Amino acid sequence: MTEEELELNINTEGDPVQYTENDIVTLEWNEHIRRRPGMYIGKLGDGSNNDDGIYVLIKEVMDNSLDEHTMGFGKQIVLDVTPESVMVRDFGRGIPLGKLVEAASKMNTGGKYDSAAFKKSVGLNGVGIKAVNALSKVFIVQSTRDGLTKRAVFERGNLISESEVEPSSEPNGTMVEFTPDPEIFRDYEFRDEFIIPLVRNYTCLNTGLVIVFNGKRYVSRNGLQDLLEINMTNEPLYPMIHLKGTDIELAITHANQYGEEYYSFVNGQHTTQGGTHLTAFKEAVSRTLKEYFGRNFEYSDIRNGMVAAISIKVEEPLFESQTKTKLGSRDVGPDGPTVAKFIGDFVSKELDNYLHRNLEIAEQIKQKIMDSERERKSRAGITKIARERAKKANMNNRKLLDCRVHLNDARGNDEKKQASSIFITEGDSAAGSITKIRNVETQAVFSLRGKPLNSYGLTQKVVYENEEFNLLQAALNIEDGLDGLRYNNVIIATDADVDGMHIRLLLLTFFLQFFPDLIKKGHVYVLQTPLFRVRNKKTTRRLGASKLGSGATDETYYCYNDEERVAAIEKLGANAEITRFKGLGEISPEEFRGFIGPDIRLDRVTLRKEDNLDELLAFYMGKNTGTRQNFIIDNLVVEDDSQIS
């Protein structure tokens, strides 16, 4: 390259772009967080998903209060949440009053750098509370210590007011109140359905801790045993194995279900993506059970149907991101053993002792493993043929139009991995619209041929015998569990008609039967597409439909329900032209662009204990045809098509 080329960058239009001292910018701490919120809280979202940023803000504040409790200060935390704002009050020692403002607003300032004060804290870098401050429209912090109190108010990280130290009769502790900034979290709303599991996790990991959430009291007496009982959607096959030691706690059982289900925690932090501790735990349990029974069991058979939780405490834990969802630590502390040895030694001794003392439970575990082994061997021949067929089909790219970034591709960055999605469509017409305008970096398309099989009541053998399910499983790369999942978001994209709903139910039945953890981990969604298009007839004739764009304008409205349709008709009056979309193939690629872009509407599929999965599937997908027909008749809603073209 010439010297001139080295000094100049060429932009996409071929114009030279100067790179000078004026391009070097130093940001204030809060501005850096506000410009790059994903570095601190992951994705933003609007509160419709449990990993949206507004819940990370709650967690960051709660973690500080939990650290106080862990250190032995404060037995209760009060959490009040309205649709827009949050208040957390603990009864710990309170932030030292002279450092109140710095603790909330000065980076690299905190009380957790000295491990003697916070030996096994979840947060060590003093970043979390500052991120909440910077991303809040209003942030208030007040500390009370030994009859004195001080209060500070911030707006978007900027200090607005700071009180003098004043006398107070309130008990010791810290109060934080914040309102997320609507400029960053657009149209957000806090939802109890996502906050309650967070609260329950905290109480189960801190036996005896009381959290009062919006006036309701939550407490756990049995730790991880309570946590599993709350989260399990199938009944355990034998009483829970609950083992506790210094800095480690385990709960283990099996259920009559496929796959594995784990809940892992480090210093009270829910590591939803696992890490070194979960890997070590799975290895240790498998090895211990194999050695106890003295049989050459496959690890996959040992863990099939296993539901377990592990919680450990580590000095100065290393996480793979600020959101702390995956542990990277290799050692439990500077002078301690490796995480693998610490967990392996505990499991090897305590689980083995438990099995020798509880022979009946040991026999039930053995029976479950043998059942899994028998089923695996019965499908062994089919599995080999099916995998070869799936591999050949994927190579020929007949059903799967892949994207460039996969979850197991180390070359892809984390942001793209998180965004990686696969749309499961019905037929070529719907797939065609999505394919033409998808983001090829992160969005893949899998096209079904006709209606899938109703898998309810069938064995896992059907996964390999049925071509559609076999190819879908191979496309997702979940044959050996979720560790190989290639797409973070599995999106069912079917028509909004009777056939589309039926296909959606058949797919959900398949996932619920054979891969329930795919749903429990929050990977499965249903794509919401508009039911109606309401547009101005005069504008349409003048410009042509193709020039109206893909989003709602003053002349075109895409409506997802009857209420939105009525509102659009009222706006356009007599010029309103209403179209009912009865299939995804009727929506043009240009229109579809807005429906799978940044403003995509997704409904996450959830699975909770109170859903009574067995009863649910038996009723909707079982052989009780007559009962279902009567249910449909009793709940039939007739659509008024009189105004729809």
pLDDT at 314: 87
> Which position has the higher pLDDT, 363 or 382?
363
Number of CB atoms found within 10 A of residue 12's CB: 5
Confidence of residue 633 (pLDDT cuts 50, 70, 90): confident
Confidence of residue 317 (pLDDT cuts 50, 70, 90): confident
**Nearest of 274, 464, 476 to residue 376 by alpha carbon:** 464
3-state DSSP assignment of residue 267: coil
pLDDT at 551: 45
| Prediction pTM value | 0.77
> Which position has the higher pLDDT, 361 or 537?
361
Confidence of residue 412 (pLDDT cuts 50, 70, 90): very low
Residue with structure tokens 């970096």? 441
Confidence of residue 396 (pLDDT cuts 50, 70, 90): very low
All CATH 3.40.50.670 domain ranges in the chain, comma separated: 380-528+603-634
3-state helix, strand, coil in the chain (%, to 5): 40, 20, 40
Lowest-pLDDT choice from 40-49, 322-331, 590-599:
322-331
What letter does residue 329 receive in the DSSP assignment?
A: -
pLDDT over threshold 50, residue 277:
yes
Partner residues linked to 310 by β-bridges = 250, 264
> Which position has the higher pLDDT, 225 or 42?
225
What letter does residue 171 receive in the DSSP assignment?
A: P
> Which position has the higher pLDDT, 427 or 209?
209
Tell which CATH classification among 3.40.50.300, 3.40.50.670, 3.50.30.30, 1.10.10.60 matches the domain 380-528+603-634.
3.40.50.670
Return the CATH class of domain 235-378.
Answer: alpha beta
Share of the chain above pLDDT 90, in %: 39
> Which position has the higher pLDDT, 363 or 127?
363
pLDDT at 537: 77
All CATH 3.30.230.10 domain ranges in the chain, comma separated: 235-378
Give the residue-averaged pLDDT of 262-281. 89
Give the residue-averaged pLDDT of 170-190. 93
pLDDT at 546: 37
pLDDT over threshold 60, residue 407:
no
Assigned superfamily of 38-218: Histidine kinase-like ATPase, C-terminal domain (3.30.565.10)
> Which of 24-33, 527-536, 593-602 tops mean pLDDT?
527-536
DSSP sequence for 199-264? HHHHHHHSTT-EEEETTEEE--SSTHHHHHHHH-SS-BSSPPEEEEETTEEEEEEEBSSSS-EEEE
CB-CB contact of 211 with 202 (8 Å)? yes
> Which position has the higher pLDDT, 125 or 471?
471
pLDDT at 375: 85
Lowest-pLDDT choice from 56-65, 87-96, 174-183, 443-452:
443-452
3-state DSSP assignment of residue 626: helix
pLDDT at 352: 96
pLDDT at 410: 41
pLDDT over threshold 90, residue 31:
no
Residue with structure tokens 């067995």? 614
pLDDT over threshold 90, residue 386:
no
Confidence of residue 639 (pLDDT cuts 50, 70, 90): low
- Residue 88: in which H helix or E strand, if any? strand 86-90
> Which position has the higher pLDDT, 59 or 108?
59
Tens digits of residue pLDDT in 451-498: 888 888 888 777 777 888 888 888 898 877 787 888 989 999 988 778
pLDDT over threshold 60, residue 502:
yes
All CATH 3.30.565.10 domain ranges in the chain, comma separated: 38-218
> Which position has the higher pLDDT, 330 or 87?
87
Share of the chain above pLDDT 70, in %: 83
C-alpha 176, offset from chain centre: 26
397 Cβ contact list (under 8 Å, min separation 6): none
pLDDT over threshold 60, residue 541:
no
Tens digits of residue pLDDT in 205-254: 999 999 999 999 999 999 999 999 999 988 999 999 999 999 999 999 99
pLDDT at 432: 74
**Nearest of 169, 267, 212 to residue 77 by alpha carbon:** 212
Confidence of residue 542 (pLDDT cuts 50, 70, 90): very low
> Which position has the higher pLDDT, 624 or 506?
506
3-state DSSP assignment of residue 636: coil
The pairs formed by 21-28 with CB atoms below 8 angstroms and a separation of 24 or more are 28/157
Tens digits of residue pLDDT in 509-532: 999 988 988 998 889 999 988 888
Mean pLDDT, the chain, whole residue set: 83
pLDDT at 316: 80
By CB atoms closer than 10 A (0-12, 13-18, 19+), residue 598 is exposed
pLDDT over threshold 80, residue 435:
yes
